[in-house]
Amino acid sequence: MKVLYLPVARLTFDVNLAEQMFKESKQALVNLPGIELSAPDELLSDPVKLDNFISQAGQHWDAVVFQDITFVDGQFISQTIDLVNAPVIIWGLREDLENGGRLRLNTLTGVMSTANTLMVNHRQYCCLIGNPDEDQTVIKLKSLLKVVAVYRRLHGMHLGVVGKYPAGFYFSDADNQLIHDTFGVSLFQYELADWLKQAETVSTQAYQKEMDFAKERVVGLNPADETVKRFAQFTAVAKHYIQEDHLSSLAMRCWPDFFTALHAAPCGIFSQLTDQQFPTACEHDIHGSLSMFILQELTTSAPYLGDIVNCFPERNEIVMWHCGFAAFSLANKRTRARAGVHPNRKIGLAMDFGLKPGKVTLLRVNFTGDGYRLITLSGTVLDRANAYQGTSAQIKLDCDAEAFLKTAIAQGYEPHFALAYGDVVKEVAELGSLLQLPVIQY
């Protein structure tokens, strides 16, 4: 990730303190892993110095860390965004406690001035306030850089849409232009019938790699079962298109086509692709696939997509479930990922396990009819037996479960929510800010 660091200051303030903050901040950035940093050797104390430094550094960056070390006026950030088109992380410092003496840096006023200029110019930004020697400042800086990296990956992302949504599943569809304009995502359309036909002729040699992947991870897998062979054949076809068209995630029609044409359940296929870091949403749910991808990138956990099928207000718990789809790595370690059959169609390959315990974040990229918003909340998956045949997670929410569901129904949230391990609710909110979308955070 390429990061441009711009420490700006006016020399009418406490120069010694400003230079100390600059050196410590620069070192904090240098110490961060995974970034390619360009930083000046001195404070950028006037617009000419700023212009010269950017001209020498170049204009193509993934993020700009714009540090208001002292108060500066809007010329500095205005000049920056004229030269560099990248999300801005505004970094402000903490002022000494008031003691009747001089206001040494006036950094917060500078932060607000910078933010105002960015807002008026409709530019993407986020902000942190903290000194470089504070652990929380470094943690926040890492978090914001990760959010910016996800924002950048969305812009240019290819999402494969395979088939049409099932009858009546209107929430699974998306407007190609609107999703591109909002997130930068391009939808690649494919005919499911073509993929199913191609799967019939995939050779053992071509699908063996996919079979071996599943054999190492799924308890009770029978490679001699014809449905398991078809699972591996179709997975190989999907991987071909993923690699050929550089797809980051998939949204795929599943029923009834897989059962009637492939004579196998799609659930195992989607589970394996998701476990291989290609989030795959069933029932053609495009926004569900996008939600899964965002959580995967923020957490590095394989994501899950499920329906909210039950609520226990007295325990503040909900149950998420789907009919046999979950990444193998999400299985409770007591049972591991187990091979099963689809609960309604009674055909394999599907998964049958409860999810492992741990802290999780839920997310829905929610389409309101007029535009997008992000819905996010957190909770803890409990160490419980599988609630229903298929895959499930019993989650104790951090918010009021009954109130959340009442709001979800009143405001028409879609039934599918993505889930991933880790608490990234704040990161989702920051991403929403960069995308200039409303965020509903529970």
Amino acid 101: pLDDT? 80
Region 396-401 average pLDDT: 98
Q: Nearest 5°: CA angle at 312, between 311 and 314?
A: 150
- Give Cα 215 to chain centroid, integer Å: 29
State yes or no: pLDDT of 59 exceeds 90: no
Quick check: 296 pLDDT over 80? yes
How many independent structural domains does the chain possess?
2
118 and 169 inside one domain: no
Domain end marker among 134, 154, 174: 154
Does 192 lie in the same domain as 107? no
Characterize the bridge pairing of strands 249-252 and 372-381: unpaired
Question: pLDDT tens across 10-31, in order?
Answer: 999 999 999 999 999 999 999 9
pLDDT tens sequence across 306-337:
999 999 999 999 999 999 999 999 999 999 99
Same domain, residue pair 78 and 144? yes
- The residue segments making up the domain with residue 185 are 158-441
State the CATH number of the domain containing residue 263. 3.20.14
Which tens digit of pLDDT belongs to each residue from 179-218? 999 999 999 999 999 999 999 999 999 999 999 999 999 9
Above 90 in pLDDT, residue 99?
A: no
**Are residue 229 and residue 351 in the same domain, yes or no?**
yes
Q: CA-CA distance, 11 to 46, in Å (whole number)?
A: 9
98 bridge partner residues: none
Give the pLDDT score at 97. 75
pLDDT band at 102 (very low <50, low <70, confident <90, very high): confident
Tell which of 132, 154, 176 closes a domain: 154
Task: Report the CATH number that the domain containing residue 76 is assigned in CATH.
Answer: 3.40.50.10940
Say whether both 162 and 142 belong to one domain.
Answer: no
Closest CA to 364 of 298, 441, 430: 441
Q: State both tokens at 78.
A: 């205005």
Same domain? For 142 and 162 the reply is no
Q: Do 180 and 248 fall within a single domain?
A: yes
> Is 150 in the same domain as 193?
no
Domain shared by 347 and 240, yes or no: yes
What is the reported pLDDT for 297? 98
Clarify whether residues 422 and 296 are in a common domain: yes
- In terms of domains, do 110 and 252 share one? no
Number of residues in the chain: 442
- In 155-225, alpha helices (H): 176-183, 192-199, 204-215
Q: What is the residue-averaged pLDDT of the chain?
A: 97
Residues 66 and 178 grouped into a single domain: no
C-alpha distances (whole Å) from 422 to each of 24, 152, 168, 303, 360 are 30, 21, 33, 11, 5
Domain ends where: 103, 125, 154? Answer: 154
pLDDT > 90? residue 62: yes
Could you tell me which residues are beta bridge partners of residue 374?
365, 439
